[in-house]
Chain A
Protein backbone atom coordinates (compact mmCIF):
# COMPACT_ATOMS: atom_id res chain seq x y z
CA UNK A 1 0.00 0.00 0.00
CA UNK A 2 1.37 3.39 -1.05
CA UNK A 3 0.51 6.21 1.33
CA UNK A 4 -0.27 9.51 -0.35
CA UNK A 5 -1.11 12.80 1.36
CA UNK A 6 -2.53 15.73 -0.56
CA UNK A 7 -2.53 19.16 1.08
CA UNK A 8 -4.76 21.37 -1.05
CA UNK A 9 -6.08 24.90 -0.78
CA UNK A 10 -9.87 24.82 -0.43
CA UNK A 11 -11.59 25.93 -3.62
CA UNK A 12 -8.54 25.38 -5.82
CA UNK A 13 -9.46 21.86 -6.77
CA UNK A 14 -13.24 21.41 -6.79
CA UNK A 15 -14.54 18.58 -4.62
CA UNK A 16 -16.26 17.04 -7.64
CA UNK A 17 -12.83 16.67 -9.27
CA UNK A 18 -11.44 14.75 -6.32
CA UNK A 19 -12.56 11.35 -7.58
CA UNK A 20 -10.79 11.95 -10.87
CA UNK A 21 -7.59 13.05 -9.11
CA UNK A 22 -7.72 9.95 -6.91
CA UNK A 23 -8.08 7.78 -10.01
CA UNK A 24 -5.04 9.48 -11.53
CA UNK A 25 -2.97 9.05 -8.35
CA UNK A 26 -4.04 5.41 -8.04
CA UNK A 27 -3.02 4.73 -11.64
CA UNK A 28 0.30 6.48 -11.09
CA UNK A 29 1.07 4.41 -7.99
CA UNK A 30 -0.06 1.21 -9.67
CA UNK A 31 2.10 1.86 -12.73
CA UNK A 32 5.09 3.06 -10.71
CA UNK A 33 5.06 0.81 -7.66
CA UNK A 34 2.64 -2.02 -8.51
CA UNK A 35 0.63 -1.21 -5.42
CA UNK A 36 -2.67 0.35 -4.47
CA UNK A 37 -2.82 3.76 -2.81
CA UNK A 38 -4.21 5.09 0.44
CA UNK A 39 -4.94 8.79 -0.13
CA UNK A 40 -5.44 11.31 2.69
CA UNK A 41 -6.76 14.76 1.85
CA UNK A 42 -5.88 17.74 4.03
CA UNK A 43 -7.92 20.71 2.92
CA UNK A 44 -6.56 24.13 3.89
CA UNK A 45 -9.39 26.56 4.56
CA UNK A 46 -9.25 30.03 2.99
CA UNK A 47 -6.91 32.28 4.94
CA UNK A 48 -5.03 29.31 6.36
CA UNK A 49 -2.34 28.77 3.75
CA UNK A 50 0.70 30.99 3.23
CA UNK A 51 3.74 31.01 0.98
CA UNK A 52 6.41 33.59 1.77
CA UNK A 53 3.93 34.97 4.30
CA UNK A 54 1.33 35.73 1.61
CA UNK A 55 -1.89 33.84 0.77
CA UNK A 56 -0.87 30.62 -0.92
CA UNK A 57 -2.11 28.80 -4.00
CA UNK A 58 0.30 25.91 -3.51
CA UNK A 59 -0.63 22.28 -3.02
CA UNK A 60 1.57 19.51 -1.69
CA UNK A 61 1.28 15.91 -2.83
CA UNK A 62 3.46 13.49 -0.95
CA UNK A 63 3.93 9.77 -1.51
CA UNK A 64 6.10 7.15 0.12
CA UNK A 65 7.61 4.63 -2.27
CA UNK A 66 7.71 0.93 -1.44
CA UNK A 67 11.45 0.65 -2.12
CA UNK A 68 14.45 3.00 -2.12
CA UNK A 69 14.66 4.90 -5.41
CA UNK A 70 17.67 5.98 -7.43
CA UNK A 71 17.91 9.75 -8.02
CA UNK A 72 17.15 9.27 -11.72
CA UNK A 73 14.06 7.14 -11.14
CA UNK A 74 12.79 9.46 -8.41
CA UNK A 75 13.14 12.53 -10.63
CA UNK A 76 11.37 10.76 -13.49
CA UNK A 77 8.51 9.79 -11.19
CA UNK A 78 8.32 13.25 -9.62
CA UNK A 79 8.09 14.91 -13.02
CA UNK A 80 5.39 12.47 -14.09
CA UNK A 81 3.47 13.06 -10.86
CA UNK A 82 3.64 16.84 -11.28
CA UNK A 83 2.55 16.58 -14.90
CA UNK A 84 -0.44 14.41 -13.95
CA UNK A 85 -1.33 16.73 -11.09
CA UNK A 86 -1.27 19.90 -13.17
CA UNK A 87 -3.30 18.23 -15.93
CA UNK A 88 -5.88 16.97 -13.43
CA UNK A 89 -6.22 20.11 -11.35
CA UNK A 90 -5.49 22.93 -13.76
CA UNK A 91 -2.80 24.27 -11.46
CA UNK A 92 0.63 25.31 -12.72
CA UNK A 93 4.00 23.72 -11.96
CA UNK A 94 4.67 26.69 -9.70
CA UNK A 95 1.68 25.71 -7.54
CA UNK A 96 2.63 22.14 -6.77
CA UNK A 97 5.17 20.70 -4.40
CA UNK A 98 5.65 16.97 -5.00
CA UNK A 99 7.47 14.61 -2.67
CA UNK A 100 8.32 10.95 -3.20
CA UNK A 101 10.03 9.62 -0.12
CA UNK A 102 11.83 6.35 0.44
CA UNK A 103 10.19 3.95 2.86
CA UNK A 104 11.25 4.24 6.51
Chain B
Protein backbone atom coordinates (compact mmCIF):
# COMPACT_ATOMS: atom_id res chain seq x y z
CA UNK B 1 0.00 0.00 0.00
CA UNK B 2 -0.41 2.44 -1.66
CA UNK B 3 -2.05 0.67 -4.58
CA UNK B 4 -2.53 2.66 -7.77
CA UNK B 5 -4.82 1.07 -10.35
CA UNK B 6 -4.68 2.51 -13.85
CA UNK B 7 -7.43 1.86 -16.36
CA UNK B 8 -7.24 2.88 -20.00
CA UNK B 9 -8.98 2.57 -23.30
CA UNK B 10 -7.72 -0.39 -25.29
CA UNK B 11 -4.34 0.24 -26.92
CA UNK B 12 -3.75 3.61 -25.26
CA UNK B 13 -0.59 2.59 -23.37
CA UNK B 14 2.30 0.52 -24.65
CA UNK B 15 4.79 -1.25 -22.38
CA UNK B 16 7.17 1.70 -22.30
CA UNK B 17 4.42 4.12 -21.33
CA UNK B 18 3.23 1.82 -18.54
CA UNK B 19 6.72 1.57 -17.10
CA UNK B 20 7.18 5.33 -17.27
CA UNK B 21 3.84 5.97 -15.61
CA UNK B 22 4.56 3.38 -12.90
CA UNK B 23 7.88 5.08 -12.20
CA UNK B 24 6.26 8.50 -12.22
CA UNK B 25 3.57 7.37 -9.79
CA UNK B 26 6.23 5.91 -7.49
CA UNK B 27 8.33 9.08 -7.61
CA UNK B 28 5.31 11.32 -7.06
CA UNK B 29 3.98 9.33 -4.13
CA UNK B 30 7.37 9.12 -2.44
CA UNK B 31 8.30 12.75 -2.97
CA UNK B 32 4.96 14.05 -1.65
CA UNK B 33 4.60 11.68 1.30
CA UNK B 34 8.14 10.55 2.13
CA UNK B 35 7.01 6.92 1.97
CA UNK B 36 9.50 4.30 0.76
CA UNK B 37 9.29 3.22 -2.87
CA UNK B 38 8.93 -0.43 -1.87
CA UNK B 39 5.42 0.35 -0.60
CA UNK B 40 4.18 1.65 -3.96
CA UNK B 41 2.27 -0.75 -6.20
CA UNK B 42 0.91 0.21 -9.63
CA UNK B 43 -1.14 -2.08 -11.86
CA UNK B 44 -2.58 -1.48 -15.31
CA UNK B 45 -5.80 -2.70 -16.90
CA UNK B 46 -7.61 -1.96 -20.13
CA UNK B 47 -11.35 -1.33 -20.24
CA UNK B 48 -11.65 -2.61 -16.68
CA UNK B 49 -15.23 -2.24 -15.42
CA UNK B 50 -14.20 -1.69 -11.80
CA UNK B 51 -12.51 1.63 -12.64
CA UNK B 52 -15.04 3.40 -14.84
CA UNK B 53 -13.40 5.58 -17.48
CA UNK B 54 -16.46 7.70 -18.17
CA UNK B 55 -15.47 10.19 -20.83
CA UNK B 56 -11.74 9.80 -20.07
CA UNK B 57 -9.08 7.77 -21.86
CA UNK B 58 -6.91 7.17 -18.81
CA UNK B 59 -7.90 6.98 -15.18
CA UNK B 60 -5.95 6.18 -12.02
CA UNK B 61 -7.46 5.33 -8.67
CA UNK B 62 -4.96 5.40 -5.86
CA UNK B 63 -5.63 3.91 -2.46
CA UNK B 64 -3.20 5.34 0.06
CA UNK B 65 -2.77 5.11 3.83
CA UNK B 66 -5.05 7.45 5.74
CA UNK B 67 -3.39 10.42 7.38
CA UNK B 68 -2.16 12.54 4.49
CA UNK B 69 -3.33 16.13 4.26
CA UNK B 70 -5.84 17.28 1.67
CA UNK B 71 -3.04 19.33 0.08
CA UNK B 72 -0.84 16.25 -0.23
CA UNK B 73 -3.64 14.22 -1.78
CA UNK B 74 -4.42 17.00 -4.23
CA UNK B 75 -0.75 17.31 -5.14
CA UNK B 76 -0.48 13.58 -5.80
CA UNK B 77 -3.61 13.54 -7.96
CA UNK B 78 -2.55 16.61 -9.96
CA UNK B 79 0.96 15.27 -10.57
CA UNK B 80 -0.32 11.85 -11.63
CA UNK B 81 -2.78 13.49 -14.01
CA UNK B 82 0.14 15.39 -15.57
CA UNK B 83 2.22 12.21 -15.81
CA UNK B 84 -0.64 10.42 -17.57
CA UNK B 85 -0.88 13.24 -20.12
CA UNK B 86 2.89 13.28 -20.65
CA UNK B 87 3.63 9.56 -20.81
CA UNK B 88 0.26 8.38 -22.07
CA UNK B 89 0.28 10.93 -24.88
CA UNK B 90 -3.32 11.94 -24.30
CA UNK B 91 -4.88 15.38 -24.28
CA UNK B 92 -5.25 17.28 -21.03
CA UNK B 93 -8.74 16.52 -19.85
CA UNK B 94 -8.55 12.93 -21.07
CA UNK B 95 -6.71 11.80 -17.95
CA UNK B 96 -8.11 11.56 -14.46
CA UNK B 97 -6.67 10.63 -11.08
CA UNK B 98 -8.49 10.10 -7.83
CA UNK B 99 -7.09 9.38 -4.37
CA UNK B 100 -8.92 7.46 -1.65
CA UNK B 101 -7.72 6.44 1.79
CA UNK B 102 -7.54 3.29 3.87
CA UNK B 103 -6.43 3.17 7.51
CA UNK B 104 -2.96 1.65 7.77
CA UNK B 105 -4.21 -0.68 10.50
CA UNK B 106 -6.52 -2.37 7.98
CA UNK B 107 -3.58 -3.54 5.86
CA UNK B 108 -0.99 -6.26 6.40
CA UNK B 109 1.98 -6.13 4.04
CA UNK B 110 5.37 -7.79 4.24
CA UNK B 111 4.09 -9.81 7.17
CA UNK B 112 3.35 -6.77 9.33
CA UNK B 113 0.47 -4.37 9.89
CA UNK B 114 1.29 -1.30 7.82
CA UNK B 115 2.78 1.60 9.77
CA UNK B 116 0.98 4.87 10.24
CA UNK B 117 2.40 7.60 7.98
CA UNK B 118 5.71 8.73 9.47
CA UNK B 119 6.31 5.51 11.43
CA UNK B 120 7.99 3.61 8.62
CA UNK B 121 11.43 3.35 10.29
CA UNK B 122 10.07 1.30 13.20
CA UNK B 123 8.15 -0.88 10.76
CA UNK B 124 11.24 -1.68 8.73
CA UNK B 125 13.13 -2.47 11.95
CA UNK B 126 10.39 -4.94 12.94
CA UNK B 127 10.56 -6.52 9.48
CA UNK B 128 14.31 -6.84 9.71
CA UNK B 129 14.00 -8.48 13.13
CA UNK B 130 11.44 -10.95 11.76
CA UNK B 131 13.68 -11.85 8.85
CA UNK B 132 16.64 -12.38 11.14
CA UNK B 133 14.55 -14.56 13.46
CA UNK B 134 13.49 -16.63 10.46
CA UNK B 135 17.04 -16.79 9.16
CA UNK B 136 15.99 -15.11 5.92
Chain A contacts to B: CB under 8 angstroms = 7, 40, 42, 44, 47-53, 56, 58, 60, 71, 74-75, 78-79, 81-82, 93-94, 96-102
Contact = CB atoms under 8 A, between A and B. Distances in A.
Contact of B108 (A51, A53, A82, A102): A82
Interface of B: 1, 3, 5, 15, 18-19, 22-23, 26-27, 37-45, 48, 50, 102, 105-111, 113
B89 to A, nearest CB: 18
Contacts of B44: 44, 48-49
A50 B22 contact: yes
B22 A93 contact: no
Nearest to A102: B106
B109 A48 contact: no
Contacts, number: 87
A42 to B, nearest CB: 7
A98 B114 CA distance: 10
A21 B54 CA distance: 33
B38 A52 contact: yes
B64 to A, nearest CB: 13
B125 to A, nearest CB: 16
8 contacts: A44-B45, A47-B18, A49-B42, A50-B19, A51-B38, A74-B106, A82-B111, A97-B108
Residue among B18, B27, B38, B106 with max Cβ neighbours from chain A (10 Å):
B106
Given A82-B111, A94-B110, A97-B107, A49 B26 contact: no
B117 to A, nearest CB: 17
Nearest to B6: A48
Nearest to A52: B37
A2 to B, nearest CB: 15
B103 to A, nearest CB: 8
Contact of B22 (A40, A53, A71, A102): A53
A103 to B, nearest CB: 12
A7 B111 CA distance: 18
